[in-house]
């Protein structure tokens, strides 16, 4: 396969061509030539106004629901949604059936994902069945292809167990991912605790439920001298704890979701179940603090928290609706639209550079001789997300009908090109 990209701006701090507008010729999955003007014979030519290219983007927390919940999503449909969102790599959480908590389960995902347009990286479970009771076979999973360890949507509640997990993964330079949520603090909470939850008559989940775990886990990472990644942080205090941890030299990193940068709890007044997520959508003050944290470097990555659900799990009374929304296809557009003043270079740091470094993934660089792992996008293009664009098997998204600035054109992963 020969692919020619015409007159694209290269956004890649590791490339000698960073910032340049050039033609890029890809042959047999490798970047063959980069120059101002190229005219080789090509099987496919991509030429679009305002086109940018960067190393392939990485999503660090998504559910593909396979095996066990294929009526929500499959590895194939999840990969298609990821490709449409500009991702060449996705880390998938272990909340499947069976749970990704042993060598065989991890190898199933690795094997089944080999021929998909997106490279799928399994996250192994910290505990058996993600129940938070006893450690899973993390060492075996590591050498079978697990790139990190997490109980996914289930936060490890026991500090003692998490200490053991952090100590265990330190032996092979592994990393733990946590969604911070102390389930003992008002467990029936459905939305952010505050004025809006009172007005709507819904039980609230206080910010403290998140912040207690953020502070605790940073302290545990310091105690064990191990690495932890906190994903889905949603409050001003949580961002402050992470920033302080970094200043103290602790190996802590964090990611935010697109929807926490876009919505506030005041958007919940319509009882839209697509906005029912965990951690919940917070106040305007928290949203502003998260946007600042994205710009000042406190936040390391953007995490889609793509959690697909069939219609019966969402078109239901708010109390009984499942938590989560899909988000792979709109993640970049939401980031670029919601965070005023964000540069394209900063977007690429959040989506490509930092996640590859934090999770020790194969480097990607737009340099001659390197494997082609490239995202193509148009930062200035305005577009509207419509139902016919959805590539996921599920459609539980609040962004249908929303107009964004910043559009993904497609991805190149090896010798395979997928255009949105």
In tens, the pLDDT along 221-240 reads: 999 999 999 999 999 999 99
Alpha-carbon dihedral angle through residues 61, 382, 391, 177, given to the nearest 10 degrees:
0
pLDDT at 187: 86
Query: What's the CATH code, domain 2-52+368-419?
Result: 2.30.40.10
Q: Does residue 279 have a cis bond before it (omega within 30 degrees)?
A: yes
Q: What is the mean pLDDT of residues 71-95?
A: 98
pLDDT at 336: 98
Q: Tell me which H or E stretch contains 11.
A: none
pTM: 0.97
pLDDT at 412: 98
pLDDT digits (tens, 9 = 90+) for 192-221: 999 999 999 999 999 999 999 999 999 999
Characterize the bridge pairing of strands 227-231 and 301-302: unpaired
pLDDT at 190: 97
Closest CA to 279 of 333, 345, 232, 225: 232
Confidence of residue 148 (pLDDT cuts 50, 70, 90): very high
What is the location of CATH 3.20.20.140 in the chain? 56-358
Query: What number of CA atoms fall less than 13 Å from residue 256's CA on the CB side?
Result: 35
Q: What is the mean pLDDT of residues 106-129?
A: 97
pLDDT at 186: 83
Query: What's the CATH code, domain 56-358?
Result: 3.20.20.140
Instruction: Look over the chain and give the mean of its residue pLDDT values, rounded to a whole number.
Output: 97
Number of helices and strands (H, E) in the chain?
12, 18
Cβ of 145: how many Cβ atoms within 10 Å?
17
Q: Which residues touch 236 (CB under 8 Å, ≥6 apart)?
A: 285, 286, 289, 290
Burial 255-276 (b: 16+ CB within 10 A, else e): bbbbbbbbbbbeebeeeebbbb
Q: What is the mean pLDDT of residues 58-75?
A: 98
Q: What is the mean pLDDT of residues 300-327?
A: 97
Q: What is the mean pLDDT of residues 72-97?
A: 98
Confidence of residue 44 (pLDDT cuts 50, 70, 90): very high
What is the location of CATH 2.30.40.10 in the chain? 2-52+368-419
Percent of the chain at pLDDT > 70 equals 100
C-alpha 395/C-alpha 399 separation (Å) is: 10
């Amino acid at each position: 396969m020969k692919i020619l990209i015409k007159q694209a701006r290269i956004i890649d701090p590791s490339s000698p061509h960073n910032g340049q507008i050039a033609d890029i010729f890809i042959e047999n999955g490798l970047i063959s030539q980069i120059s101002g003007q190229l005219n080789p014979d090509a099987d496919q030519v991509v030429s679009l106004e305002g086109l940018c290219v960067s190393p392939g983007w990485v999503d660090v927390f998504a559910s593909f629901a396979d095996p066990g919940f294929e009526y929500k999503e499959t590895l194939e449909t999840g990969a298609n949604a990821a490709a449409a969102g500009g991702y060449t790599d996705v880390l998938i959480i272990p909340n499947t059936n069976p749970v990704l908590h042993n060598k065989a389960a991890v190898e199933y995902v690795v094997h089944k994902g080999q021929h998909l347009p997106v490279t799928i990286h399994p996250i192994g479970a910290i505990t058996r069945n993600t129940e938070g009771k006893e450690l899973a076979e993390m060492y075996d999973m590591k050498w079978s292809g697990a790139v990190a360890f997490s109980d996914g949507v289930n936060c490890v509640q026991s500090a003692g167990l998490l200490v053991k997990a952090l100590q265990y993964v330190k032996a092979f330079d592994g990393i733990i991912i946590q969604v911070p949520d102390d389930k003992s603090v008002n467990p029936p909470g459905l939305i952010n605790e505050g004025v809006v939850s009172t007005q709507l008559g819904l039980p609230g989940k206080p910010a403290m439920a998140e912040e207690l775990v953020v502070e605790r886990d940073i302290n545990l990472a310091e105690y064990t001298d191990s690495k932890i990644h906190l994903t889905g942080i949603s409050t001003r205090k949580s961002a402050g704890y992470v920033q302080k941890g970094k200043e103290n030299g602790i190996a802590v990193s964090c990611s935010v979701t697109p929807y926490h940068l876009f919505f506030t709890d005041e958007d919940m007044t319509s009882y839209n179940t697509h906005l029912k997520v965990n951690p919940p959508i917070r106040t305007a003050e928290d949203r502003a603090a998260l946007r600042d944290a994205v710009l000042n470097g406190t936040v390391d990555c953007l995490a889609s928290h793509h959690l697909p659900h069939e219609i019966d799990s969402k078109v239901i009374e708010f109390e009984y609706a499942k938590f989560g929304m899909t988000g792979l296809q709109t993640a970049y557009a939401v980031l670029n639209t919601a965070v005023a003043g964000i540069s394209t270079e900063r977007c690429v740091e959040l989506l490509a550079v930092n996640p590859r470094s934090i999770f020790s993934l194969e480097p990607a660089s737009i340099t001659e001789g390197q494997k082609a792992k490239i995202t193509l996008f148009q930062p200035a293009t305005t577009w509207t997300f419509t139902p016919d664009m959805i590539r996921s098997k599920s459609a539980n998204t609040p962004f249908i009908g929303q107009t964004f600035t910043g559009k993904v054109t497609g991805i190149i992963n090896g010798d395979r090109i997928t255009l949105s």
